[in-house]
Amino acid sequence: MRSTQDDRTTRAVIRDEALRLFAERGPESVTVRQIAGAAGVSAGLVVHHFGSKDGLRQEVDQYVLAVFEAMLGELTGEGGQELLDPGAGSASLSEAFARHLPAGSPLPGYLRRLLLTGADTGRVLFRRLFELSRRTLDELVAAGMADPGRDPAVRAAVLLANDLAVFLLRDHLTDVLGTDPLSADGMARWAPELLGVYAGGLNAAPRGEAPPQR
């Protein structure tokens, strides 16, 4: 039924279409037949590869977790100082994710569902993101670029919650701002304001801009 012309296996095509549909509608609202139709295969072939929709969902979750783990590893590994170097133009996890995820990727939408449904994969990913936030704050403090606050764990959690809010409230932010905050244009607006607040509080001018004349 399907003659795939790209370099993905049929199993990967099914997984990717399931991810897209899960992100759009939620896993509970998507059937095996709908996934099969989107992938251009039979429902029986989906069951052959994954056993059931639950098996397919588990594979989608593990794939999403692996993608974010690889992304975070790149950002925090040797030479991955984008999150710590203001000169690199990265203000937060949300900006780093926006730069690494292609336009139209279903991953941000599925991340939102994972974090809000209490899924085990969502809890694992959130803990990994929190550990990264703690590490980032510790390194910024060591570099003299931040204060740890009275409770560093809470401060790291506040920074993480702010970053994740861009994903969780993406549609609402797009509506009020007129620009998708995870798009290139949206981040061009978002990053200076965020850096300004992080650097100097609400009284600070956006980074790289003069304060308004009174």
Q: pLDDT per residue over 158-190, tens digit each?
A: 989 988 898 889 899 999 999 998 888 888 888
pTM: 0.70
* Right CATH for 8-51 from 1.20.1440.60, 3.60.20.10, 1.10.10.60, 1.10.10.10: 1.10.10.60
Residue 74 pLDDT more than 80? no
DSSP state of 91: -
Cβ atoms of 17 and 38 within 8 Å: the answer is yes
For the residues 26-41, what does the mean pLDDT come to? 95
Q: Which of 56-60, 83-87, 188-192 has the lowest mean pLDDT?
A: 83-87
Q: Which of 13-17, 19-23, 30-34, 90-94 has the lowest mean pLDDT?
A: 90-94
In this structure, the chain runs to a length of 214
Here the tokens at position 13 are 């095509």
Instruction: Report the distance separating Cα 174 and Cα 137, nearest Å.
Output: 28
Cβ atoms of 159 and 119 within 8 Å: the answer is no
Write down the pLDDT at residue 76: 61
- Write down the residue that tokens 């759009």 correspond to: 24
Per cent of the chain over pLDDT 90 is: 34
